[in-house]
């Protein structure tokens, strides 16, 4: 579990996490939203911070979060409901890792036989919309690239909260990275 200094708590019970700017990109549409400021309920912040380690984490109402770290600056996470993956996300936590992380995202989009993978996962077809991506540009700084899975059609209510969850979880990951760097540095010395 990653630990960090507690963010400032406001009178309304929300916490303002240390500020970071990142691009939140939906890969199918090319839609980009820039985020620069963040507040989250104190209990929710504690919960999200507890989910930043690699592995499977249980979320409320039968949802699950799967987290893995190809590198310290690149975190892959996905949200599932039962056996279905709803979104797959790539979080680039540092501007120096943008090009490498972006190339990994693009290679996954190009190289995986996605239709076969989707069918094996039980995702409903047809898959045409899944493959129609606009020309994508690499974000200029830290980013969160999100791939909506076809199975999200089976859970339309989740679409109402997934974007906020992705954003909140990115901030939890970003806030934990200093602790992660210190641990990695201590191991390497």
Question: SS in 3 state form for 119-171?
Answer: HHCCCCCCCHHHHCCCCCCCCCCCEEEEEECHHHHHCHHHHHHHHHHHHHHHH
Residue 189 lies inside a defined structural domain of this protein? no
Residue 170 — pLDDT band, cuts 50, 70, 90?
A: very high
Residue 128 — pLDDT band, cuts 50, 70, 90?
A: low
| pLDDT at site 159 | 87
What's the whole-number mean pLDDT along residues 167-184? 78
Residue 88 lies inside a defined structural domain of this protein? yes
| pLDDT at site 171 | 87
- The reply to whether the predicted model has a pTM over 0.75 is yes
Residue 37 — pLDDT band, cuts 50, 70, 90?
A: low
Q: Are 168 and 22 in contact (CB under 8 A)?
A: no
Domains contained in the chain, number = 1
Residue 10, pLDDT > 50, answer no
| pLDDT at site 11 | 41
What is the CA angle 158-35-11, rounded to 5? 85
Question: SS in 3 state form for the chain?
Answer: CCCCCCCEECCCCEEECCCCCEEEEECCCCCEEEECCCEEEHHHHHHHHHCCCCEEEECHHHEEEEEEEEECCEEEEEEEECCEEEEEEEEECCHHHHHHHHHHHHHHHHHCCHHHHHHHCCCCCCCHHHHCCCCCCCCCCCEEEEEECHHHHHCHHHHHHHHHHHHHHHHHHHHHHHHHHHHHHHHHC
Residue 2 lies inside a defined structural domain of this protein? no
| pLDDT at site 117 | 56
Q: What is the pLDDT of residues 53-80, one digit of tens each?
A: 999 999 999 999 999 999 989 999 999 9
| pLDDT at site 7 | 42
What's the whole-number mean pLDDT along residues 87-94? 93
Name the residue range of residue 59's domain. Answer: 8-19+26-32+48-100+107-184
Q: Are 143 and 98 in contact (CB under 8 A)?
A: yes
| pLDDT at site 88 | 92
Distance spanning both ends of the chain, measured CA to CA: 21
| pLDDT at site 13 | 52
Residue 166 lies inside a defined structural domain of this protein? yes
Q: Which tops the pLDDT comparison, 99 or 121?
A: 99
Residue 64 lies inside a defined structural domain of this protein? yes
Residue 166 — pLDDT band, cuts 50, 70, 90?
A: very high
Residue 107, pLDDT > 90, answer no
Residue 39 lies inside a defined structural domain of this protein? no
Residue 148 lies inside a defined structural domain of this protein? yes
| pLDDT at site 43 | 84
Residue 129, pLDDT > 60, answer no
């Amino acid at each position: 579990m990653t630990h960090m200094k507690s963010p400032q708590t406001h009178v309304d019970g929300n916490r303002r996490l240390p500020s970071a700017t990142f691009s939140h990109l939906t890969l199918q549409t090319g839609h980009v939203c820039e985020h620069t400021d963040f507040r989250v309920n104190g209990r929710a912040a504690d919960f999200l911070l507890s989910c930043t380690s690699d592995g499977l984490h249980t979320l409320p109402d039968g949802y699950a979060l799967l987290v893995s770290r190809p590198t310290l600056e690149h975190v892959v996470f996905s949200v599932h409901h039962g056996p279905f993956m709803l979104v797959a996300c790539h979080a680039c936590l540092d501007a120096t890792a943008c090009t490498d992380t972006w190339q990994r995202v693009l290679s996954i989009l190009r190289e995986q036989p996605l239709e076969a993978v989707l069918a094996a996962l039980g995702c409903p077809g047809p898959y045409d919309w899944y493959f129609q991506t606009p020309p994508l540009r690499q974000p200029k700084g830290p980013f969160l690239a999100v791939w909506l899975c076809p199975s999200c059609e089976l859970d339309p209510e989740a679409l109402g909260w997934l974007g906020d969850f992705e954003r909140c979880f990115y901030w939890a990951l970003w806030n934990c990275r200093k602790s992660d760097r210190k641990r990695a540095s201590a191991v390497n010395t």
